[in-house]
Structure 1
Amino acid sequence: MTSSLVRGRPRHATAHIRVRVAHALVGAVAGAGWLAIPVLAAQDPATASPPPHTVDAAPSAPAAPSAPTAPSAPRDDESSAVDLILPVAVLGTAGVLAAYSYVRRTRRSPGVVSRAPAAATPAESDRQARAALVQADDSVRASEEELPFAAALMDERTVDPFRVAIRTARGELAAAFALWHRYEEGEPQDPGDRRQALVGIIGRCAEAGRVLDARAGELDRLRWAEVGPALAVAEGAFRRLAARAAGARATASPLHERYGPSVGARMAGRVEVAMDRLVFATSRLNEARRAADLGKHDRAVRQLRCAEGAIAQAGVLVAGVDDQTRRLREAAALVPTALTGAEAVLAAAREAGTPVPSGADDTLAAVRAELTAGPYDPLAALRRITRALVRLPGARSGVLDTAADLVARADAAEAEDFVAVHRGAVGADARSLLAAAVRTLGAAHPVEAAALARRALESAERDVRAHGLPESDAEGSAGAVLGGVLLTGEPDDGPPVTFGGPETRDRLRPGTD
């Protein structure tokens, strides 16, 4: 086994050793060069010993006349010694440069980690921002799903900090989605500002996750000291929801004849997915009860969280059937009045000389024909009416404003429910459009909000089609993966989602239990 000291050594420690060796080599070469300079300069030919085999002349002998000796001979020897200084200095400099080049090459070798990693490309930053948005949105949604089960075992004062954490995380996420929506619309335009916008998005998402992570351990301590009470709460919620799901199926059946095949198919699809989640919940509740009876605490907690996530999503779908059915009835009662109001707005615009949108008259005529032709989708009819007149004076008053608000809320709810129960496949674009629809609806722009919600739903449906619908299985595990109830593509072994951010939401990963 590798020791902790070896594991803790920085990767560039070897590079530091080579640097020290190179520095020592440079110092040695430079020192030798400087020491050689005075030695060479001290070699004076005038004081040097005579060459061997030379016989001195007798002192009494008169000096024989000879050719005059060049007085510059000693200076020539002096120049030779001085001339040696330059080559030595050159050699020293060359050594220094060679050692420096070696060090530079060593530091740049592939085996050494750079201290300053390369900046992310715009495409990479874009990908990171998308991933951060999806992860943060999943964390907030999972935390919102789990908290009601925990709240059933606690008093309001105990639950309040967790609600505050979710609200804070939701606020950070909303700000991140607003930044992303502006970014996707081309704002800001400066490349530097766009990079900073992506940094801000990632930072907001990280803060949302941090807030939830900070509370995750505390919630576990409060929830899982004993599995029995939490299991009883989940089983009670399951029984109540199963009865409601049977009622939702009975409610959805006649919608095909009353409002047309498109409405009937949408409602039937909701009921089908809800039943799939309930089948999954049944299996996991049984596993949790069995594990609890055997004293396998960790396994019981994990299976129970799987069941709770599926129950929460089934509840969203069942409630959606009831809510959409109610809105369909309201819309059907409102369509004739909305048609009359729209025709009055067109007539007033013509009298005032205001340009009328092209196709507005044809739209109203087509909707009026649908009223007598048979079953039709009243929400779709109101959507067409309000869109056709949105730019005319008077389109935001009276019955038309009521119709626009009803359509916007219905479209936003439908998109929200679809994203919630298919989030394992839905990407950042659909989620961002949905967040923009909610903001726009809050700003009292219902027609624009409805358009954004429809775009969000269409984008989410494309993501699911591209991901692929799961094959039906006996326990509904594949649907739970698509819905994000399980975090991995391994339904039997993947961890269930939990309250928390990216650092803690998969903490129930299977162990050795």
Structure 2
Amino acid sequence: MTVARSEGVTAPAAASSEAVGATTGDLVPPLVAAGAAGALAAYGYGRRRRRVTTRTTPGGSGHQLISLPELDLQTRQLLVDLDNCVRASAEELVFASARAAPDAVTPYAEASAYAEAELRAAFRLRQRLDDADTAPDGDDRREVLEEIVARCEDAGRRLDAAAPGFDQLRALERETPAAVERAETRFRKLAARTPATEAALAALHERYAPTASFPVTGDVEQAKDRLVFATLRLNRARQCADRGEATEAAASLRAAEAAVAQAGVLLDGVDRLAAELATTAARLPGALASTETALGAVHGRPPTARGTEPFPLGGDPRLARAGALLASVRREMTSGPHDPPDALRRVVEAGALLSEAGEGEVPDLRDDALLPAHAAAAAATDFVGTHRGAVGCAARTRLAEAERLLGPGSSVAETRRADELALEARRLAEQDVRAYGNPSGGEAGAGTGGAVLGGILLGDGEGPVSYGGPRTRGRRSTSAV
């Protein structure tokens, strides 16, 4: 990509990874902030329990209940808004941590962690409502919905309360030139990486089946779009700072930082997928051979005969299905470029069927199941994060559940379920993006449509989104951005 060079920015740039010492004399003392955060958490817990017990209208007088459909819609929007806040806050914490003392960042990291924990609990409840087998009805459903509302509101208040102190910590309005330099450094590194990442993506297209590289198709182009947007915003930040327009400079800088961060996610995703495909391709032959041997033993076939002839189709349908899956994988591996994660999923499924049938010695495929599941979850996380301006509640809920199931000690069944949920999350997110369309940048400049789609700017094209909850995340919003 050729990034247009504007006066004030001579090359693509982004935030430096070097920590810079921060002056914290004018900051809220960390101990005081932490104490206030603890008090707010205790208050939030009590308020949440009272709300669930009395089932009042959220934000209302407590005398009249809103309808279940309306409450359901409210929870979906609250979850989307809070998820966006948590993602943006975590992103900006990285920039703060690069220049401030750890003790100064701790209260705000704790507020972000609290919000994320509440968000995950709320998503877990939402998944319970979405699952046909666990979904409650009537008053029980209302109670779960109100618990979601209460958790989201408590988490949002915690982030909102931390936002003023965080602004003092970051000091974007006072330290714009230095922050711009850090952003430009990171930006230049990403721009320099772009051609190599583009070549790596082309190599994936040649080496594997098209479906293997599908998760990152278009990511390099989107990264270029974010870099163009960041170029213009960094130039504007410098110009505003030179004119003494500190508020406008900080807003443009924050938008540029977020765009650079998303460009990094998009480029990193291509490199990560290349490594994942190589690892999975190397793992596949061993997993296939061990599972073929196990199934062959059930049919009285010696290990040396694996893959040489079809498995019998009669008898237990689970064994027949396992044989068909293994045969399809063997056929694809010997016929040319294939999709290693998809093939490994079928091998793991064959092993699960063999286990269900209770026949023979089943190979341990837990690590094999984790490879495609982690890859699917990572790809879905990247897609949701870089398209969060359009992605709805269902995709985020499935992704959160997939991440929960991929926790330490997950079984093969849990890992396979997580894989399914991660793939569904990606499918639903793509569906949301298609329905959202391609936002126009209008007069705001190149890349603005992508910035809105990525949740860098608010839906009206203003912004940027900053650390904080639903009430404070758009505090730097200005049409000048």
Other-structure match for 2:271: 322
Asked if the contact 1:390/1:447 (under 8 Å) is kept, the reply is no
CA distance in 2, matches of 1:372, 1:512: 58
Matched residue SS, 1:253: helix
Alpha-carbon spacing, 1:456–1:115, altered in 2? closer, same or farther (3 Å): closer
Residue 391 of structure 2 is aligned with which of 414, 426, 435? 426
Other-structure match for 1:489: 460
> TM-score normalised to the size of structure 1?
0.73
Q: State the AA in 2 paired with 1:419.
A: V
CA distance in 2, matches of 1:497, 1:150: 15
C-alpha RMSD of matched pairs (Å): 2.4
Other-structure match for 1:463: 432
Residue 251 of structure 1 is aligned with which of 177, 200, 211? 200
Matched residue SS, 2:464: coil
CA deviation map 1:483-512 (0-9, x unaligned): 10001233xxx1110000011001012279
Residue 382 of structure 1 is aligned with which of 335, 344, 349? 344
Residue 365 of structure 1 is aligned with which of 327, 342, 358? 327
Asked if the contact 2:351/2:365 (under 8 Å) is kept, the reply is no
Other-structure match for 1:448: 417
CA distance in 1, matches of 2:285, 2:426: 27
Other-structure match for 2:22: none
CA distance in 1, matches of 2:323, 2:198: 39
Other-structure match for 1:476: 447
CA distance in 1, matches of 2:238, 2:273: 35
Alpha-carbon spacing, 1:119–1:434, altered in 2? closer, same or farther (3 Å): same
Alpha-carbon spacing, 1:269–1:357, altered in 2? closer, same or farther (3 Å): farther
CA distance in 1, matches of 2:153, 2:361: 40
Identity of paired residues, percent? 45
Residue 234 of structure 1 is aligned with which of 173, 183, 186? 183
CA distance in 2, matches of 1:446, 1:387: 11
Deviates more, 1:364-373 or 1:339-348: 339-348
Tell me, which stretches of 5 or more residues in structure 2 are unaligned? Answer: 1-59, 301-314
CA deviation map 1:468-493 (0-9, x unaligned): 13468861110110110001233xxx
Alpha-carbon spacing, 1:357–1:429, altered in 2? closer, same or farther (3 Å): farther
2:108 is aligned with 1:162? yes
Equivalenced residue count is 396
Q: State the AA in 1 paired with 2:152.
A: C
Alpha-carbon spacing, 1:464–1:237, altered in 2? closer, same or farther (3 Å): same
Other-structure match for 1:147: 93
Q: State the AA in 2 paired with 1:287.
A: R
> TM-score normalised to the size of structure 2?
0.77
CA distance in 1, matches of 2:276, 2:441: 31
CA deviation map 1:98-122 (0-9, x unaligned): xxxxxxxxxxxxxxxx977642111
Other-structure match for 1:189: 136
Other-structure match for 2:166: 219
Tell me how far 1:347 sits from its aligned partner: 3.4
Matched residue SS, 2:218: helix
Matched residue SS, 1:390: helix
Q: State the AA in 2 paired with 1:481.
A: V
Alpha-carbon spacing, 1:160–1:354, altered in 2? closer, same or farther (3 Å): farther
Q: State the AA in 2 paired with 1:423.
A: R
CA distance in 2, matches of 1:407, 1:449: 10
Other-structure match for 2:473: 505
Tell me how far 1:267 sits from its aligned partner: 3.2
2:64 is aligned with 1:125? no
Tell me how far 1:229 sits from its aligned partner: 2.1
Matched residue SS, 2:277: helix
Q: State the AA in 1 paired with 2:467.
A: F
CA distance in 2, matches of 1:254, 1:512: 41
Alpha-carbon spacing, 1:495–1:239, altered in 2? closer, same or farther (3 Å): same
Alpha-carbon spacing, 1:357–1:283, altered in 2? closer, same or farther (3 Å): farther
Matched residue SS, 2:318: coil
Alpha-carbon spacing, 1:248–1:197, altered in 2? closer, same or farther (3 Å): same
Other-structure match for 2:365: 400
Alpha-carbon spacing, 1:265–1:446, altered in 2? closer, same or farther (3 Å): closer
Alpha-carbon spacing, 1:464–1:511, altered in 2? closer, same or farther (3 Å): closer
Q: State the AA in 2 paired with 1:468.
A: G
Deviates more, 1:191-200 or 1:382-391: 382-391
Alpha-carbon spacing, 1:502–1:135, altered in 2? closer, same or farther (3 Å): same
Asked if the contact 1:320/1:417 (under 8 Å) is kept, the reply is yes
Alpha-carbon spacing, 1:404–1:168, altered in 2? closer, same or farther (3 Å): same
Asked if the contact 1:349/1:392 (under 8 Å) is kept, the reply is no
CA distance in 2, matches of 1:408, 1:304: 36
Other-structure match for 1:198: 145
Tell me how far 1:234 sits from its aligned partner: 1.4
Asked if the contact 2:294/2:361 (under 8 Å) is kept, the reply is no
Other-structure match for 2:378: 413
CA distance in 2, matches of 1:446, 1:349: 26
Q: State the AA in 1 paired with 2:188.
A: R
Asked if the contact 1:390/1:396 (under 8 Å) is kept, the reply is no
Tell me how far 1:354 sits from its aligned partner: 7.4
Asked if the contact 2:291/2:363 (under 8 Å) is kept, the reply is no
Asked if the contact 2:291/2:362 (under 8 Å) is kept, the reply is no
Other-structure match for 2:400: 435
Matched residue SS, 2:406: helix
Asked if the contact 2:440/2:448 (under 8 Å) is kept, the reply is no
Tell me how far 1:334 sits from its aligned partner: 1.4
Asked if the contact 1:357/1:389 (under 8 Å) is kept, the reply is no
